[in-house]
Amino acid sequence: MKSLLLAATALTAFTVSAFAADLPARKQAPVFPAAPIFTWGGFYIGADVGGAWGRERDTLHIIEADSFPVSGAIGGLHAGYNWQMNQIVVGAEADVDASNVTGKAAAVGLPPGSFLSLKNNWRASLRLRAGYAIDTTLLYVTGGAAFAGVKSNLVVNVDPSWSHTLGGWTIGAGVEHAFTANWIGRVEARYSDFGQANNKATPPFDAFKVGLRDVQVLAGVSYKF
């Protein structure tokens, strides 16, 4: 009897094992890798294009209010580095732009056709940035030192001209959006006061200062490494 019970138990175990082997294997749920979290930290370089609108400032006193409007297109390159701490992003950036910002005004009390003109050939800045990241969008403010190469021309009997590198400051704000892990678009607006420089005039004119202030609006794209 005991032998018969052992044989029955072994047969039952063998049958259950064979039946289990014939059952289809249970498929494991697919494992998807976690989407990478975007970070604003790192080095980037890019290009921008836009325009500037402002005013020349001088002390020649032959132009009404010693100032006249200037405007034109600008465009160039920028590069910088960001550090991110939670949603706070801080960084430093430099840019350099070619410019055709120009303007002129008729000179009062001089022969007909006399005028004073100003042309901005290039501009650059060294700035700090601070912003708040909302996932792949960054709202930021920026400010620092600004420089501009200008040429002023007094068209009268002697037609003297002067070239200067002006130095001043700039401040502004912008928004950036990361379309991919590497490509970022931006829109930025800044106010710049480039300061003034002395023009050594020839008689009958005394030495006078000339300067530039303007607002620039730029759209650009950056590649983040």
User: Domain locations in the chain?
Assistant: 42-224
Position 123 scores a pLDDT of 98
Position 157 scores a pLDDT of 65
203/224: higher pLDDT:
224
Position 106 scores a pLDDT of 87
Tokens 């294997």 appear where? Answer: 25
Query: Looking at residues 204-219, what average pLDDT do you find?
Result: 90
Give the single-character DSSP code of 201.
P
**pLDDT tens figures, 69-95:** 999 999 999 999 999 999 999 999 999
Q: Round to whole Å and give the CA distance between 165 and 197.
A: 8
Position 3 scores a pLDDT of 47
Q: Rounded to 5 degrees, what angle do the CA atoms 175, 176, 182 make?
A: 175
Phi, psi of 182 (to 5 degrees): -120, -30
Residue 88 has which token pair? 């706070």
- For residue 204, say if its preceding peptide bond is cis, omega within 30 degrees of 0: yes
Q: Model confidence at 33, in pLDDT bands (50, 70, 90)?
A: low
Position 86 scores a pLDDT of 95
- Give the range with max mean pLDDT: 54-63, 109-118, 140-149, 191-200: 140-149
Position 160 scores a pLDDT of 78
**pLDDT tens figures, 109-152:** 777 888 889 999 999 999 999 999 999 999 999 999 999 999 99
Q: Round to whole Å and give the CA distance between 140 and 129.
A: 7
Percent of the chain's residues with pLDDT above 70: 80
Position 200 scores a pLDDT of 81
Sequence-distant (6+) residues with CB within 8 A of 96 are: 76, 77, 122, 123, 124
**Positive/negative CA dihedral, 166, 98, 213, 127:** negative
Answer whether CATH 3.20.20.70 is correct for domain 42-224: no
